[in-house]
Amino acid sequence: MKYQSTRGEAPVLEFSEVLLAGLAIDGGLYVPTEFPKLKPADLSAFSEMSYAEVATKVLTPFVSPSISSDELGNMVEQSYSTFRHPDVVPVKQLPTEIGNDRYLAELYWGPTFSFKDVALQLLGRLFEHELTRRDSGVTIVGATSGDTGSAAIEACKDRTGIELIMLHPRGRVSEVQRRQMTTVTSPNIHNVAIDGTFDDCQDLVKAMFSDLQFRERHNLAAVNSINWARVAAQTVYYFTTATRIAGPSEQISFCVPTGNFGNILAGYIASQMGLPIDRLIIASNHNDILTRTHLSGVMEIQDVEPSTSPAMDIQVSSNFERLLFDLSGKDGSWVAAAMGDFRSTGSMKLPESVAKHLRDRFDAGQASETEVEQEISDLYETQREFLDPHTAVGVNVIRRMKSLNGPAVVMATAHPAKFNTVVESATGVVPPQPDEIAGLKNRSERCIDLPNEVSAVMDFVSTASNQ
């Protein structure tokens, strides 16, 4: 498999190089030059296969020839043996009041109780495999709105050849999310709280990757979904969920609580590989830039307002660039110019053809804070079950999607216990705390506060990478 940049000015690379590169040197994101295609017979077989077997089948074309199918299979088996449910991603039917044939795909049974574990448990092993082969090391720099940080730290702690620096927006992640990061004592893990938003943290990371001398000096690598391996790994649960519910040929829709666009992009990639997906539904909280873009064809930045679903408090969704590249007919020069204008002006009008392609494949909806709270309350009242606020956004949006044909699935992105304060406020009940979460309060934290200044962060990264 070969990979090209969305901005068209970076070298074409193989998977092992893309894995370590993260961001392309022209500022773009790597995507396959073509998507592998799965046959109907492959999809039919998936319903009888384990999650690890499906993952190996789906991901082998993306990693070949850098990694053999047997090597990948071993890493996949190790990655998903850490999950707390034998299905890895179990499926549960929602009450009929929400809609007929509506389901939850529970993506949160990994080590840190977040959907990010599904990709990052594998990514940590992919990094270690490639670094061992090269007898080399990397400095991973990432930004998180909450769950990516803890999942990346869990996947990379104590791994040979990796120093990991994770930036999070101070005071804009839940206490559980923060403690999952800051209580890890492994010497190769460094947590940084930034005085700003997630978008600010993400901009700092991109600035460091754009400084080619700094990037080369410290062997920078990425675990955010700017790393293609993250997106590829997430495609797998669309295949397992769809074939379990609808079989190999029936159309199915997915509603995805959306922040940086990586999770729902994985669904789009799965559809391009042959999975019969009807609609992909972008679910936003009040920071609804993507929903507004879908409606108007204009992407326009507004101020980020904190919410009870902080992973969605984003105005610049990095992976949307990958989608725009594909919908534009892989026009790298247009993407480069459009993204440059967007960053300088805060606004981008999509060409009519791109806007049409977006609406042909996607729907979008927004849920207010009041609606999120009510959704959490209603499910508890009727089913005695809990929802985290991000998943509640998705459930509320799909409740209002009356025109969907066939089954539809909400991607449940986090365990409710990670947002116990929000859940308790909505239900009057504290959700049960897994031992791994309950024990966080008794551990000391290790984190450094830094200003929203690239020079300060680069100085810290330089020090950490030389330890």
**Catalytic residues, which ones?**
116
Residue type, 143: A
Write down the H helix ranges in 308-388.
320-327, 332-345, 352-361, 369-383
Nearest to 165 by CA among 432, 463, 374: 463
Question: Which two tokens mark 134?
Answer: 């090269």
Write down the H helix ranges in 47-115.
51-63, 69-80
Distance CA 261, CA 272 (A): 16
CB 362 within 8 A of CB 282: yes
Give all strands of the β-sheet with 30-32 in edge-to-edge order: 13-14, 2-5, 30-32
* Number of helices and strands in the chain (H, E): 21, 16
Cα→Cα distances 272→24, 198, 278, 289, 323, Å: 23, 30, 12, 25, 12
Strands (E), 128-243: 138-143, 162-169, 189-194, 220-221
Report the b/e string of 333-353 with b at 16+ CB within 10 A.
Answer: ebbbebbeebeeeeebbbeee
Question: Which two tokens mark 259?
Answer: 């922040």
Nearest to 69 by CA among 57, 85, 86: 57
Distance CA 261, CA 250 (A): 25
Coil/strand/helix, residue 299: strand
**366 beta partners:** 284
